[in-house]
Structure formats: C-alpha cells, structure tokens
A and B are shown apart, each in its own frame.
Chain A
Amino acid sequence: AQSVTQLGSHVSVSEGALVLLRCNYSSSVPPYLFWYVQYPNQGLQLLLKYTSAATLVKGINGFEAEFKKSETSFHLTKPSAHMSDAAEYFCAVSDEANSKLTFGKGITLSVRP
C-alpha cells in the first residue's frame, strides 16, 4: 500500500520568505509524486509532478520539488512567497499500475504581509 505523510497542518511565512512544505511517501514500487494546490471553494490544481525523469521538478508559480529516493521525500519549495500563495497544499503518490492518487492530509500555507 502507498501512503503520504505531511507533517504539521499549518505553515506561516512572511511575504518574500522561503516556502518549504514537507512530504514523505511510502511505496513498494517506483512512485509517481504530485503536488496539488487547493484554493477555497475550488478544485485541486496541479503544481508539479515527478514521473521518473529529472529528480528536480519545476512547476507553475515558481514552485519546485526534489525527489530524494534515499529519504523517501518530495519536499515543495519556493524561494520567495507571495500573498497569492496562501492556500492548502496536498502531496500525492501513485504508480504505473495504480492510477488512483493517495493524498496526504494537506498543509495550509499562510503568508504574512
């Protein structure tokens, strides 16, 4: 079975500060990893995905994530936070044989002016 752990439920940063949202996964087969963002009353939007190509993945809105197999991690970063980044962020895992996504509990990002 696959699982995702997102420690903590809330992260608060100042505008312009580094954003770091942590994600660790468990999978018995090579994983595909995803980060989704959810704004209030909206569906989930894909930020980026890892599908066994480059381990450093760049996504939309300046976000990137690095797949580290040895650490079973796929942390999301952004060098400089904007007010518009305030939202809920979900890490998810799937694999080639398993199309369904298994999500973490999500992290709420707040950005202080």
Chain B
Amino acid sequence: GAGVSQSPRYKVAKRGQDVALRCDPISGHVSLFWYQQALGQGPEFLTYFQNEAQLDKSGLPSDRFFAERPEGSVSTLKIQRTQQEDSAVYLCASSLALGGASEQFFGPGTRLTVL
C-alpha cells in the first residue's frame, strides 16, 4: 500500500530490555513525526524530522529515547532499558511539505507493552 507502515504492530518487552520501532513513511514525504499515545489519551509529540535532520526532540521523555532517520526515509525509534511507564502506542506520521498546515498521514502504530 501507499500509506505509512509501522513494524512491529505489537511488541512485548520485559522491563530493562531495549526495543526498536520502525516507521516507513509515504515515499517522498519530507517530514516525519513520532507521537506517543497512552491508553485513553490523545497522542503526544515526541520528535520531528525534516529529511534526515532531527529538528525537534523536545517531546522525548528521557535520554532512554532515541530516534534516527539516517537517509531521510525510514525512521527508527529506540527505547533503552524499557520501563512500565513506556507502555503505550507509538504512532508515526509523515507529511509531504513543511509547515504546520501540511496534513500528517498516520501509520497504524506499534503497541508496546512493558512487563
């Protein structure tokens, strides 16, 4: 399909494990966003890329969270030493253009459960 894809769709980790979540944006989309959605809440911004440059990482909750987009396409969100409070759905979105007016297209999310 031509939409945003994320893998894995579901991930169960033991507390203290490292995890890596992948996002494949729509081809040609310049901007890529990561959001965290806790149960019963709205998505909250984590970080934003314009091509390969990480322009805003103000939403990353701790230095255990790290994101990269080395070639300006696929992105990976890595969480080190996972904690129970990291349990959430992690959403990736991409947009064609720059600026806040551009529509963001969302993937289905990765549901992370930390035991």
Which residues of chain B have C-beta atoms less than 8 A from A73's C-beta?
Answer: none
Tally inter-chain residue pairs, CB-CB below 8 A.
68
Measured between beta carbons, the chain A residues less than 8 angstroms from B48 are 99-100
Question: Secondary structure at chain A's binding surface: helix, strand, loop or mixed?
Answer: strand
B-binding segment of A14-22, A42-50, A62-70: A42-50
Contacts of A6 in B (CB 8 A): 42
Q: How far is the CA of A45 from the CA of B107 in the complex (A)?
A: 9
Bound CA–CA A100/B42 (angstroms): 14
Interface of B is mostly: loop
Per-residue CB contact flags for chain B residues 64-78 toward chain A (1 = under 8 Å, else 0) read 000000000000000
Known: A42-B108, A43-B107, A43-B108. A99 touches B41 (CB 8 A): no
Q: Which of A45, A100, A102, A106 contacts B106 (CB 8 A)?
A: A45
Decide if B103 is an interface residue (CB 8 Å cutoff). Answer: yes
Complex partner residue of B91 from A44, A99, A100, CB under 8 angstroms: A44
Given A41-B108, A99-B31, A100-B48, A106 contacting B42 (CB threshold 8 A): yes
B101 at the interface (CB under 8 A from A): yes
**How far is B109's CA from A102's CA once the two chains are assembled, in angstroms?**
17
On whether the beta carbons of B100 and A43 are closer than 8 Å, the reply is no
CB within 8 Å of B: which A62-95 residues: 90, 92, 94-95
In the complex the two chains form, is B45's CB within 8 Å of A49's CB? no
Q: CB-CB contacts of B34-53 with A at 8 A, as 1s and 0s? A: 01000011111100100000
Q: With A99-B31, A99-B99 known to touch, is A90 a contact of B109 (CB < 8 Å)?
A: no
What are 20 A-B contacts defined by CB distance under 8 Å? A32-B100, A32-B101, A42-B108, A43-B108, A44-B93, A49-B101, A90-B43, A94-B100, A95-B100, A99-B98, A99-B99, A99-B102, A100-B48, A100-B59, A101-B43, A102-B45, A104-B42, A105-B40, A105-B42, A106-B41
- New A-B pairs, 9, CB < 8 Å, besides A43-B4, A97-B100, A105-B40: A42-B108, A44-B93, A45-B106, A94-B101, A99-B31, A99-B98, A100-B33, A100-B45, A103-B43
